[in-house]
Amino acid sequence: MSVKSNFRCVTCTAPVNIAVIKYWGKTDEKRILPTNPSLSVTLGQDELRAKTSVAVSSSFSEDRMWLNGIEQSVSSPRIQNVLKEIRRRAHKRKSGDSKDDIGLTQHVHIVSENNFPTAAGLASSAAGYACLVFALGKLFGVHGEISDIARQGSGSACRSLYGGYVLWKMGSKEDGSDSHAVQVQPETHWPQMRSLILVVSDQKKHVGSTEGMQTTVQTSELMEKRIKLVDKRTEEITQAIKERDFPTFAKITMQESNQLHAVCLDTYPPIFYMTDTSRLIVRLVHAINDISGKVKVAYTFDAGPNACLYLLEEDVPHVLALVRHFFPPSKNMTDSSFVTGLKLDEIKPSSADIAQINIPISEGAVKYVIHTKVGPGPQVLTDPEGSLFTREGKPKLRSSS
Amino acid sequence: MSVKSNFRCVTCTAPVNIAVIKYWGKTDEKRILPTNPSLSVTLGQDELRAKTSVAVSSSFSEDRMWLNGIEQSVSSPRIQNVLKEIRRRAHKRKSGDSKDDIGLTQHVHIVSENNFPTAAGLASSAAGYACLVFALGKLFGVHGEISDIARQGSGSACRSLYGGYVLWKMGSKEDGSDSHAVQVQPETHWPQMRSLILVVSDQKKHVGSTEGMQTTVQTSELMEKRIKLVDKRTEEITQAIKERDFPTFAKITMQESNQLHAVCLDTYPPIFYMTDTSRLIVRLVHAINDISGKVKVAYTFDAGPNACLYLLEEDVPHVLALVRHFFPPSKNMTDSSFVTGLKLDEIKPSSADIAQINIPISEGAVKYVIHTKVGPGPQVLTDPEGSLFTREGKPKLRSSS
């Protein structure tokens, strides 16, 4: 890990996670304690990941950070919370001279980038904070549970510290120490599970999720009821995952997504994340399930118009063919760039299916599709070529993607 | 009323009402008993009304009905319920020969039309059933409360039997006899109240409200909570109307509309009535209120994308100028046909206002605007020229609008 004597560097990657039981609302804004448990699926890092290099050096005169090629202030309370807490835990473990060995007395430089467009609205902050905390943990030798530290950077980041199916336990302690993530099933548990992320064309500015969930907690009359319903739903979907019961998993996922957006709409002023295209995707998914005579695909939407579809490997060609039929790529896009990620043999949609689905064809409404699967938690990169620092300890700055 | 000896005819008009506390869900599908009380504003009939002529004649060999120029079956349970109940009440009042005098032993012909496009999605069935029941009541001499009969045609029709601000009481009797409308304030109570109906361009078929509300009651987990909240909201808005407290009236109206659409979204499969244009109208209304430093305009949406705005007379020019700026008529529409209804002197929007409102300009997204005010209940037309029957008792059939 060390490139030169007084420069120590660790590079890690961390995954995106997409919740099937949603996090929306805090009981403690400062500690980031949620109003309810949430449960997510960790996605494959080949398609979607944050990569972060963290380094300490006696030559660094201050903490600094570069995100997607652009230097950012480290003064935000969330970054500061993460840095303070990881250093505090490292200090507890080390004594005397060894603090110098691991660079605890030195300043840290952070370089981070995503392998997907930040603008796509794909929960990049969750992957980013998870990666930062994981990398700092490796750099400073902090072992054990660190998802509670990631939680203080961005709530849902705690779930990106594990692969597979991950529960963020609410916890009950006031200091938040028991509000952290646990893996409920590993990524190997249900090998057939796939995801298609439909990135929707959209220029609009959205209400940020931090502000949005705060307003929902303050103004939605239905939110209180929703919070009461989440525990049961979480238990049911955990059981469905355990039993690999796709129809139950899918139905709960869809109901939960809709209920999240229902409380957003019940907020004053109302918050909208789904667009006409999102709603057409919802109609398409229900239509596919109807004509299939079983629930073979589910949608879920976060704080933006993109859809994350969950489905089994065997159903990907059928579903993708219909997605492509009803949301064909715009003419200025090459066909091959419309579906990215895991390779598959695409098929043509059947005319019988098309005849039964009564929704308009919306060219260009879906910008592209990311085909991915369930993946593992954060990884340490051992190849020094993967570092985002040069051998001289300078950030490798690429243009922002 | 009688044109020739054995032909008796009555012609009436009835208003559209737009709910501020929404009816969405029945406890009894057959009797049309609601899950909660609702409260509406009756709109002016010069702009929006149903007109219905009903006639009895010894020459009629069966009950028949024409809606907007097209003959329709009278066999639907709802039409049958209305016809049976009004005849039953008329029978109770009359004895022996007098039944022949009023035509109770004869068949009825019904001709009805609206002065607004049915396709506009403006609650035409409420005005239509209210008008039918009111006209039949006049024809057969049925006095007293008849809104419970209209309710059995179309739930919200009961509210169109009164002018001004109208409450549909849930009632508690199993037979539904106490589930009817009452006027909470007459149309003269708050003379400044105005409405702008923004008719949104939209080709889509929607889930019908009868089917939609049934699915919501069956599947929405949040619906139960909503039902519990409605009583308090109804009391609060009744008080706001009484005190002519526009900001409170407006805020409750908007929250209530959003909550209705929230439970629609929480339905499985979800029901969507609002479109991207509806949502832009919502954003515009909140933006106008924000820059005005007070709540001067409210939106409400029913089972479709059209917005009904409530506002005070003094604020109509300001609000309409901004509606026209952000939703300019499409180029193939003449400027004068964009705003219909009550005359007003339009003004230009101020550039300071426009600069503060960060929403995109959507040409053609609003087809046209109907400017109207609060109006009275159903009316009897005394001028025989207004009849929808010829002097010979034939329906005057115009092409459907």
> Would you say domain B2-187+377-386 falls under CATH 3.40.50.720?
no
Sign of CA dihedral A16, A20, A25, A27: negative
User: What would the mean pLDDT of B79-100 be, rounded to a whole number?
Assistant: 86
Q: Give contacts of A222 with chain B, Cβ < 8 Å.
A: 222, 225-226, 259, 262-263
Q: Are B178 and B49 in contact (CB under 8 A)?
A: no
Q: Does A22 touch chain B (CB under 8 A)?
A: no
B350 φ/ψ angles, rounded to the nearest 5 degrees: -80, 145
pLDDT one-digit tens code per residue, B233-270:
999 999 999 999 999 999 999 999 999 999 999 999 99
Q: Are A16 and A9 in contact (CB under 8 A)?
A: no
Return the biggest CA–CA distance within chain B.
74
Cβ <8 Å between A265 and B268: no
Beta bridge partners of A311: A194, A297
Buried b (16+ CB within 10 A) or exposed e, A237-262: bbebbeeeebeebbbbbbbbbbbbbb
The C-alpha atoms of residue A378 and residue A14 are separated, in whole angstroms, by: 4
Q: Give contacts of B258 with chain A, Cβ < 8 Å.
A: 265-268, 270
Q: Does A259 touch chain B (CB under 8 A)?
A: yes
Pairing of strands B49-57, B7-15: antiparallel
The helix (H) or strand (E) run that includes residue B130 is helix B124-140
Question: How far is Cα of residue B208 from the mean position of the Cα atoms in its chain?
Answer: 15
Cβ <8 Å between B222 and A221: no
Closest Cα of chain B to A266: distance in Å?
5
How do the pLDDT tens digits run along chain A, 401 residues long? 444 457 899 999 999 999 999 999 999 999 999 999 999 999 999 999 999 999 999 999 999 999 988 999 999 999 999 999 999 999 888 766 677 777 888 999 999 999 887 655 677 789 999 999 999 999 999 989 999 999 999 999 999 999 999 999 999 999 999 999 999 999 999 999 999 999 997 766 678 889 999 999 999 999 999 999 999 999 999 999 999 999 999 999 999 999 999 999 999 999 999 999 999 999 999 999 999 999 999 999 999 999 999 999 999 999 999 999 999 998 877 767 899 999 999 999 999 999 999 999 999 999 999 999 999 999 999 998 999 999 888 999 765 44
Q: What is the pLDDT of residue B2?
A: 44
Q: Does A221 touch chain B (CB under 8 A)?
A: yes
User: What would the mean pLDDT of B388-398 be, rounded to a whole number?
Assistant: 88
**Shortest CB distance from B262 goes to which of A251, A262, A275?**
A262
Q: What is the pLDDT of residue A97?
A: 66
Cβ <8 Å between A222 and B262: yes
Q: Does A307 touch chain B (CB under 8 A)?
A: no
Q: Does A282 touch chain B (CB under 8 A)?
A: yes
Q: Are A12 and A381 in contact (CB under 8 A)?
A: yes
Reduced to 3 states, what is the DSSP secondary structure of residue B170?
coil
Q: Is residue B20 scored above 80 in pLDDT?
A: yes
B30 φ/ψ angles, rounded to the nearest 5 degrees: -75, -45
**Tokens 């609003």, residue located:** B366
Taking the CB of residue B26, how many other CB atoms lie within 10 A of it?
17
Reduced to 3 states, what is the DSSP secondary structure of residue B110?
strand
Q: Give contacts of B226 with chain A, Cβ < 8 Å.
A: 221-222
Closest Cα of chain A to B222: distance in Å?
7
**A269 is written with which tokens?**
């002023």
Q: Count A/B contacts: CB-CB distance under 8 Å.
A: 73
Q: Are A139 and A89 in contact (CB under 8 A)?
A: no
Reduced to 3 states, what is the DSSP secondary structure of residue B112?
strand
Q: Which amino acid would we find at residue B218?
A: Q
Q: Does B278 touch chain A (CB under 8 A)?
A: no
**Tokens 């009903």, residue located:** B54
**Tokens 């490292």, residue located:** A90
CATH architecture of B193-373: 2-Layer Sandwich (3.30)
Q: Does B222 touch chain A (CB under 8 A)?
A: yes
Q: Are B1 and B383 in contact (CB under 8 A)?
A: no
Cβ <8 Å between A258 and B251: no
Q: Give contacts of B229 with chain A, Cβ < 8 Å.
A: 221
The C-alpha atoms of residue B128 and residue B144 are separated, in whole angstroms, by: 20
Q: Is residue B401 scored above 60 in pLDDT?
A: no
SS (H, E, C) chain A: CEEECCEEEEEEEEECEEEEECCCCEEECCCCEECCCEEEEEECCCCCEEEEEEEEECCCCCCEEEECCEEECCCCHHHHHHHHHHHHHHHHHCCCCHHHHCCCCCEEEEEEEECCCHHHCCCHHHHHHHHHHHHHHHHHCCCCCCHHHHHCCCHHHHHHHCCCEEEECCCCCCCCCCCCEEEEECCCCCCCEEEEEEEECCCCCCCCHHHHHHHHHHHCCCHHHHHHHHHHHHHHHHHHHHCCCHHHHHHHHHHHHHHHHHHHHCCCCCCCCCCHHHHHHHHHHHHHHHHHCCCCEEEEECCCCCEEEEEEHHHHHHHHHHHHHHCCCCCCCCHHHCEEECCCCCCCCCHHHHHHCCCCCCCCCEEEEEEEEECCCCEECCCHHHCCECCCCCECCCCCC
User: What would the mean pLDDT of B81-92 be, rounded to a whole number?
Assistant: 94
The C-alpha atoms of residue A364 and residue A198 are separated, in whole angstroms, by: 12
Q: What is the pLDDT of residue A6?
A: 78
Cβ <8 Å between A282 and B262: no
Sign of CA dihedral A67, A376, A257, A361: positive
Beta bridge partners of A72: A65
Cβ <8 Å between A263 and B259: no
Q: Are B308 and B301 in contact (CB under 8 A)?
A: yes
CA-based nearest residue to A223, from A172, A171, A261: A261
Q: What is the pLDDT of residue A2?
A: 44
Cβ <8 Å between A262 and B263: yes
Chain A, nearest residue to B262 by Cα: A262
Q: Give contacts of A265 with chain B, Cβ < 8 Å.
A: 258-259, 261-262, 265
Chain B, nearest residue to A295 by Cα: B269
Peptide bond into A360 cis (omega under 30): no
The answer to which of B95-99, B136-140, B165-169 has the lowest mean pLDDT is B95-99
The helix (H) or strand (E) run that includes residue B94 is none
Q: What is the pLDDT of residue B56?
A: 95
Q: What are the structural domain ranges in chain B?
A: 2-187+377-386, 193-373
Q: Does B30 touch chain A (CB under 8 A)?
A: no
Q: Give contacts of A286 with chain B, Cβ < 8 Å.
A: 269
Q: Are A233 and A252 in contact (CB under 8 A)?
A: yes
Cβ <8 Å between B262 and A258: no
Beta bridge partners of A65: A72, A110
**A303 is written with which tokens?**
């704080």
Q: Are B159 and B168 in contact (CB under 8 A)?
A: yes
Q: Does A4 touch chain B (CB under 8 A)?
A: no
Pairing of strands B366-373, B339-341: parallel
CATH topology of domain A2-186+377-386: Ribosomal Protein S5; domain 2 (3.30.230)
Q: Give contacts of A226 with chain B, Cβ < 8 Å.
A: 221-222
**Shortest CB distance from A225 goes to which of B225, B254, B261?**
B225
Buried b (16+ CB within 10 A) or exposed e, A83-109: bebbbebbeeebeeeebeebbbebbbb
Q: Is residue B400 very low, low, confident or very high in pLDDT (cuts 50, 70, 90)?
A: very low
Cβ <8 Å between A255 and B268: yes
**Shortest CB distance from A266 goes to which of B262, B268, B269?**
B262
Q: Does A233 touch chain B (CB under 8 A)?
A: no
The C-alpha atoms of residue A247 and residue B266 are separated, in whole angstroms, by: 18
The C-alpha atoms of residue B168 and residue B176 are separated, in whole angstroms, by: 12
The DSSP line for B260-317 is HHHHHHTSSS------HHHHHHHHHHHHHHHHHTS--EEEEE-SSS-EEEEEEGGGHH
Q: Does A271 touch chain B (CB under 8 A)?
A: no
A residues 179-208 near B, CB within 8 Å? 205
Q: What is the pLDDT of residue A96?
A: 66
User: What would the mean pLDDT of B332-337 be, rounded to a whole number?
Assistant: 74
User: What would the mean pLDDT of B370-395 be, rounded to a whole number?
Assistant: 94
Chain A, nearest residue to B290 by Cα: A269
Closest Cα of chain B to A202: distance in Å?
12
Chain B, nearest residue to A266 by Cα: B259
Chain B, nearest residue to A287 by Cα: B269
Q: Give contacts of A263 with chain B, Cβ < 8 Å.
A: 222, 262
Q: Are B302 and B212 in contact (CB under 8 A)?
A: no
Pairing of strands A7-15, A17-21: unpaired
Q: Does B232 touch chain A (CB under 8 A)?
A: no
Q: Give contacts of B358 with chain A, Cβ < 8 Å.
A: 205
Closest Cα of chain B to A104: distance in Å?
47
CA-based nearest residue to A86, from A167, A4, A3, A149: A149
Closest Cα of chain A to B238: distance in Å?
20
The C-alpha atoms of residue B129 and residue B151 are separated, in whole angstroms, by: 8
Closest Cα of chain A to B246: distance in Å?
17
